[in-house]
Amino acid sequence: MNEWWRELRLRAKERLEDYVLGGTRRSRWALQHLDEEHVLHEGRRRALMAARRAFRKVPAYRDFLARHGVTPIHLPFEKLPIMAKDNYVRAYRTEERCLNGAYLSAGVAIDESSGSTGTPFNWVRGAQERRRVRRELARMLEFMFGKQPRIAINAFSMGAWATGVTMGEALELHSVVKSTGPDLEKILHTLEFFGPAPSYFICGYPPFLKLLLDSMRGRGFPLNDYALHALVGGEGMSEEFRRYLLRGFRSCYSGYGASDLEVGIAVETPEAVRIRGLLHDHHDLRGALLEGDHRVPMVFQYNPATHYIETNEENELIVTLNYSRILSPRIRYNIGDEGRLFTRRELLKRLRQLGYPLETQRDRALPFPYVFLYGRRDQTISLMGANIYPEDVERVLFAEPALAAGMASFAMSVEDAGNGDAHPRLCIEWSSERSPELPLQTLARRIEKELAEVNSDFRTAMQEHPDALRFELLVFGFGQGPFTGRGRRIKNRYFNGSST
C-alpha cells in the first residue's frame, strides 16, 4: 500500500509540474514571464526525475544502467551513462525500451526516421505525448505569428515520417489546414482556388519550398498579391537560403527536432533570427563569440523544463525528454548533432560587450536559453586536414546566381581518382529533369575561392595542397545520378559517402 500511495503521489506531482513549467496550456504571457535561471534549475531536476522513473519502469534502462555499474538513485545526473543508437536503441528491442516493457496499446503511433545516416528506425509514441507535442507546436506558432487564422498548407511528406502527420495535427489547432504533401500542382491549385484574401503558411523541407518558389516565379504566379509565410524543418538551412526564400515569403522560421526524440525540441524565434543574421553578416562577431569558429550555426531557443540539453566533450548535444508521459524515455540521449549552449542572459551580455546590443521587445522575446546548432558530424567531409561543412557549401552555392536559380539540392563526397589521390566532389541536383549547360570548371574554381573566404581550414589546406582540394563539380537532372530514388521526399542529402 505504501508503494502504491508513493507512486500515485509522484505521478500527480510530475503531471502538475508538466502543467506549470512546460505545460501545453500555459498562456503566451506566462511563458514570457518565466525566470530563465529557475527553468534551467527545474529542468535539471526534472531530468533526474525522468531518469529515476525510467529506472523503475523501463526494463532496457535498468539493464543499461546495470551494465554501466550505476544506479540513478544515488548518482548525480551528469554521471549517468549516455545513450545513443548503437549502445541503446540497437541493443534492446522496442518493447524493452518502453514503460513496463510494452507498447501494444490503443493510441500508440509508429514513426519512421528518414534513414539519412543509413538504416531507417521505427519509433513508438504514446497518445498523451503526441497530444502534448501538437499543443506545444501550436503554441509556438501563435508566439511567432500571432493568433490570426491562416490557411496552412502542409507540404511535408505524409508517409510514416513523424514531421508531416504531427505538423498537420498541430496546425489544426492554429489554422485552417490542407495537407498536400510535397505536390507542386496541388499547392498551386490551392493558392489559386482560395485566392490572395487569406494569408498562408506553407510548411515543408527547405529544398521543396525553394522548388515551389522557383516554380511560381517560372509560371508568372502573382507572388506580390499573396501573403505567404514559410515554416521549414527536417534539416538545416543557411542564412543565404532563408534570404532567398524571403524574396517570395514574408517570413521564414525553422524548428529543430529529430525522429529519435521529438519534432519540437527547439524553435527559431524572432530574436533568434536576428542573432543568426548578426553572426552571418559579421565574421568578427563569429570569431569572438564562437572562439574562432568561422561557421554560422542555426540559432534556436529551447525550454529546459521539457527538453534538458547538455553537451559532451565533442560538443555533441545530449538531450533528455523531461515529461512524465513518454512511452519510450530517452535519458541523456546523444543525437549526434554538434552544437553549443548559451543562457539567454549570457548571450545578450556578450553581444553587448562585443558591440552588437539587441533591443528586444518584451512581447517578442522568450526567457529561454539558446542552442547553436551546427548539424550532424557525419555530414562533414575531411580532406588534407580541412573539414568541409555542408552549411558552408550551401552558403557558397546560394552566392552563385547561375546555380541558386535552379538548384534543388546537393551532395558532397570524397572520391578516389584511381591512383590513390583523393579529391572533393560536389553533385548538384537541378530542379528539372534536364540539367542546363553550365561552365562547370569556372563555377568550381569560384566555389573553391568563396569557400576559402568563409572556411579558414579550407583556405590553409588550399595553400598547402591546391591540387588535392580541387572540386569536381557535377550537375544532374532532378532525381538522377546520386539523387535517384528519393521519390517525393524532397530533402537534401549532404554527404554522399566516399569511395576512398
Fold of the domain spanning 381-498? GMP Synthetase; Chain A, domain 3 (3.30.300)
Given a cut of 70, whether residue 309 has pLDDT beyond it is yes
Shortest CA distance to 376 belongs to which of 269, 231, 254, 494?
Answer: 494
pLDDT digits (tens, 9 = 90+) for 222-231: 999 999 999 9
Q: What confidence score (pLDDT) does residue 500 get?
A: 34
**Chain center to CA of 188:** 27
- Torsion, Cα of 179, 182, 183, 186 (10° steps): 30
Q: Which carries the bigger pLDDT value, residue 98 or residue 173?
A: 98
Q: In terms of DSSP bridges, do strands 228-232 and 251-256 run parallel, antiparallel, or are they unpaired?
A: parallel
Per-domain boundaries in the chain = 381-498
Q: How far apart are CA 212 and CA 167, in angstroms?
A: 19
Answer yes or no: are the C-beta atoms of 440 and 403 closer than 8 Å. Answer: no
Write out the three cell numbers for 9: 503521489
- pLDDT band (50, 70, 90) for residue 23: very low
Q: What confidence score (pLDDT) does residue 10 get?
A: 57
Q: What confidence score (pLDDT) does residue 14 get?
A: 54
Q: In terms of DSSP bridges, do strands 200-204 and 228-232 run parallel, antiparallel, or are they unpaired?
A: parallel
**What length does the chain have?**
500
pLDDT digits (tens, 9 = 90+) for 237-263: 888 889 989 999 999 999 888 878 888
The answer to whether the pTM exceeds 0.85 is no
